Amino acid sequence: MTEALQSLLAWINAHPNWALWLLFAITFCDSLFIVGAFVPAALPLFAIGALVALGALELWPTLLLAAAGALVGDTLSFWLGHRYGERLFQARFFLRHPEIVVRARRFFERYGPYSVLLARFLGPLRAVTPALSAAAGMPYWKFLLADGIGACAWACAFIVPGVVFGASLGLAAEVAGRLASLLLALLVGLWLALWLTVVITRRTSALASVWIPRLLAWSQQRRAAGRHGLALIDDELPESPALAVLAVLLLAIGAGLLYLVAGVHLHHYPMRIDGAVFQWLRDLHTPWGLSLARRLLQMGEWPVYVPVAAVVFVSLLALRKPRAAAHWLAALAFGGAITAGLYATPLLQPPYHYFDAGAPLAARSRDLILATIIYGFLPVLLASGRSPSLRTLLYGISSLLLLLLLFAHLYLGLQWFSVAMLLVLFGLVWVALLGLGYRLHHPDMVRTRWVALPVALSFVVALAWRWQQLDIPPPRPPPHYQTITEADWRNAPARPRFPTQRQDAAGRLRQPFTVQWAGALSDIDARLRAAGWQEPAPLAATQMLHWLTNSTAVGELPVLPQVHAGEHPALMLRRPIDETHQYFIRLWPSHYRLDDGRPIWVGNVSLQEARSFHRLLRYPVATDFDPPLADLVAALPDTEHRQVASVWLLW
């Protein structure tokens, strides 16, 4: 991912004009009559904003060209409405989707000229309102005024958040390319999950409204066949026998597919895609990423989902919704049965065991399917009979929870990619079958707030309790050291046994290591402080607000810890130069020690400068990783030193 981003940045830096013309084409097509309904411009504009923050494009030309493309597209749509009038809305597309024109007319009649401005932020209406306003006789000058304001506001609303994210991505990249890649992957994944939820919800509703009446009519004409095949959608037939048969079939199919994909007797090694996904995510491991994934993982552990399931059941009984409670028990029963069946299926060891990467605390990898069923079927119960907007909201929340849970399983190496996807798929298939039978057989209308509030409270309390358990650090094993003699170390410090550069994602080498220091860390810290080195600004929420200023001194700006081989530095100190510049030292354990027991630390001293990015973020940026160190080293009390090539030895 990082190579692709670098290639894109290089192309844009070499062809900035082409990039701006591409931006103009995107916003023009997004505003064009009918065409704009099929052009998802939000994500490209957000991405372009991130490229602005990374220095590939200038901010003001980008905003102006995006607004200009939108304005030209709307003007062409307005001309079409003025030229063809109401005939324009007799096209085949509108005959298939008459609701778009109906909504646009109501919106225009309610808000008048303001509808042109507001419609820019309302998806499909944006592609219809300009032509509709022209057909209704709106003067062009009035349209141009409203649309010009709307186009500028729309461009800023989608590009500026991308600039903010890009600036924060630059901050993350200053720490580690792993962290930047992880943030970008999570953001894109969450956006895709929400987008797919909206698309699938709308498409499924449209298909169901067409096919279910046809299948129902066929079932009622052929009762013998319908009793066995389509009882799930026929409200005159009980759905329980059909659900029981489908549950057994799904369990058999699921166990068989999982065994074919990852059966221990069929595969001695994981599939290529499974190994590739695990290695890619392992390359993105950072201490913060691992901590985040362990916390997200708790959503799929029994101390969290069992209280949620119990609160849902009790709430449904208290509201006197027996059918909903019965279907909830059916969902849990099948989830428990298939989970038990899968634990009996001999599969390959999970990635953390296979690659000896260390197991997360108390993790049960195949509980993923039960968590999928619980978090997937709950919105079905709450959304039955409700408005499409509420259904989309509930399904969207469920999708985000499942995506974050899936990410945690894969990031921590709890499950292979193909197995995890199959587990989630089987859970969602059961949710779909059970939900279909429930919604088409006189579903109970559940008061959403009376169930959602206690469920949310139980979820938050259980999750907070689990997180509190994670805050208790487990006992760490003693570090493993390799011993070398002091003579070997002084004469050959740059031999392959010592890293010469900081290792980032996939073992990529970043900043050079110019310091090797033998001694106890407390000793090193005391000597540095005696020579004028200071504690850096703490990484606290209140202190991070200084990143949003334009003139804060560099000493008050928190510096995020970088990562070397998956570890944060053991020591970080700063030495001020002026209000804008400072020296910064980072030391990591080398896992070597001298024969007298002194551990050897590796790291570097960098020159940092406080920089502002488009007046949005201000943070320290390393400008030189090989500053002159002779004076700094000479100022250290009771410290001997020696320079071998570019490496300084201190003891």
The secondary structure of 320-346, three-state, reads CCHHHHHHHHHHHHHHHHHHHHHHCCC
Q: Where are the domains of the chain?
A: 2-175, 236-470, 482-650
pLDDT of 388 > 50? The answer is yes
Among 502, 394, 401, CA closest to 176: 502
Give the three-state DSSP class for 622. Answer: strand
Query: Would you place residue 290 in the very low, low, confident or very high pLDDT band (cuts 50, 70, 90)?
Result: confident
What are the pLDDT digits (tens) for 170-212? Answer: 555 555 455 555 666 667 777 777 677 666 666 666 655 555 5
User: How far is residue 549's CA from residue 617's CA, in Å, rounded to a whole number?
Assistant: 7
Indicate yes or no: pTM above 0.85. Answer: no
**Tokens 């509420």 -> residue:** 390
pLDDT of 552 > 70? The answer is yes
Query: Cβ distance 368 to 405 under 8 Å?
Result: yes
Q: 76-85, 362-371, 384-393 — which one is most confidently predicted on average?
A: 76-85
Distance of CA 237 to the CA centre of its chain: 43
Average pLDDT over residues 281-302: 79
pLDDT value at residue 651? 83
User: How far is residue 244's CA from residue 391's CA, in Å, rounded to a whole number?
Assistant: 27
Query: Would you place residue 93 in the very low, low, confident or very high pLDDT band (cuts 50, 70, 90)?
Result: low
pLDDT value at residue 506? 44
User: How far is residue 302's CA from residue 275's CA, in Å, rounded to a whole number?
Assistant: 28
How would you classify residue 37: left for phi > 0, otherwise alpha for psi between -120 and 50, otherwise beta? alpha
Query: Cβ distance 337 to 247 under 8 Å?
Result: yes
What are the pLDDT digits (tens) for 404-457? Answer: 888 888 888 888 888 888 888 888 888 888 877 777 666 677 777 788 888 889
Per 3-state DSSP, what percentage of the chain is helix, strand, and coil (rounded to 5)?
65, 10, 25
Tokens of 82: 């003025």
Rounded to 5°, the CA angle 562-566-567 comes to 60
Query: Would you place residue 132 in the very low, low, confident or very high pLDDT band (cuts 50, 70, 90)?
Result: confident
Rounded to 5°, the CA angle 597-603-605 comes to 130
User: How far is residue 63's CA from residue 75's CA, in Å, rounded to a whole number?
Assistant: 18
Query: Would you place residue 358 in the very low, low, confident or very high pLDDT band (cuts 50, 70, 90)?
Result: low
User: How far is residue 5's CA from residue 107's CA, in Å, rounded to a whole number?
Assistant: 41
Greater confidence, 471 or 268?
A: 268
Our CA dihedral for 29, 30, 33, 37, rounded to 10 degrees, sits at 130
pLDDT of 51 > 50? The answer is yes
Instruction: For the chain, give the mean pLDDT.
Output: 76
- Strand 482-484 vs strand 581-594: parallel, antiparallel, or unpaired? parallel
Q: What's the number of CA atoms in the CB half-sphere (13 Å) around residue 364?
A: 17
**Tokens 């778009």 -> residue:** 100
pLDDT value at residue 112? 73
Average pLDDT over residues 286-302: 81
pLDDT value at residue 2? 42
The size of the chain, in residues, is 651
pLDDT of 224 > 70? The answer is no
pLDDT value at residue 316? 85
* Residue 462, φ and ψ in degrees, nearest 5: -65, -40
Distance of CA 146 to the CA centre of its chain: 36
Q: What is the 3-state secondary structure of 572-620? A: EEEEECCCCEEEEEEEEEEEEEECCCCEEEEEEEEEEEEEEECCCEEEE
Among 140, 123, 26, CA closest to 76: 140
Query: Would you place residue 63 in the very low, low, confident or very high pLDDT band (cuts 50, 70, 90)?
Result: confident
588's CB contacts (< 8 A; 6+ apart) are 564, 565, 567, 569, 570, 601, 602, 603
pLDDT value at residue 491? 73
Our CA dihedral for 332, 334, 337, 340, rounded to 10 degrees, sits at -70
Angle between helices 287-297 and 388-411 (to 10 degrees): 130
- % of the chain at pLDDT higher than 90: 0
Based on C-alpha coordinates, what's the Rg of the chain?
30
Handedness of CA 488, 492, 497, 502 (dihedral sign): positive
What are the pLDDT digits (tens) for 156-171? Answer: 888 887 777 666 655 5
Which helix (H) or strand (E) segment is 102 a member of? helix 98-111
* Residue 442, φ and ψ in degrees, nearest 5: 55, 65
User: How far is residue 262's CA from residue 412's CA, in Å, rounded to a whole number?
Assistant: 18
User: How far is residue 302's CA from residue 299's CA, in Å, rounded to a whole number?
Assistant: 8
Return the amino acid letter for 422: L
User: How far is residue 369's CA from residue 302's CA, in Å, rounded to a whole number?
Assistant: 12
What are the pLDDT digits (tens) for 503-551? Answer: 664 444 467 888 888 888 889 898 899 888 998 888 776 777 777 777 7
Alpha helices in 263-387 (DSSP H): 272-283, 287-297, 302-318, 322-343, 351-354, 368-383
Give the three-state DSSP class for 414. Answer: coil
* Residue 588, φ and ψ in degrees, nearest 5: -120, 155
b or e along 220-245 (b: 16 or more beta carbons within 10 Å of the residue's beta carbon)? eeeeeebeeebbbbbeebebeebbee
Query: Would you place residue 236 in the very low, low, confident or very high pLDDT band (cuts 50, 70, 90)?
Result: low
pLDDT of 617 > 50? The answer is yes
Query: Would you place residue 365 in the very low, low, confident or very high pLDDT band (cuts 50, 70, 90)?
Result: low
pLDDT value at residue 494? 47
pLDDT of 632 > 80? The answer is yes
Which of 87-96, 102-111, 365-374, 472-481 is predicted with the least confidence, judged by mean pLDDT? Answer: 472-481
Tokens of 116: 């042109």
User: How far is residue 564's CA from residue 588's CA, in Å, rounded to a whole number?
Assistant: 8
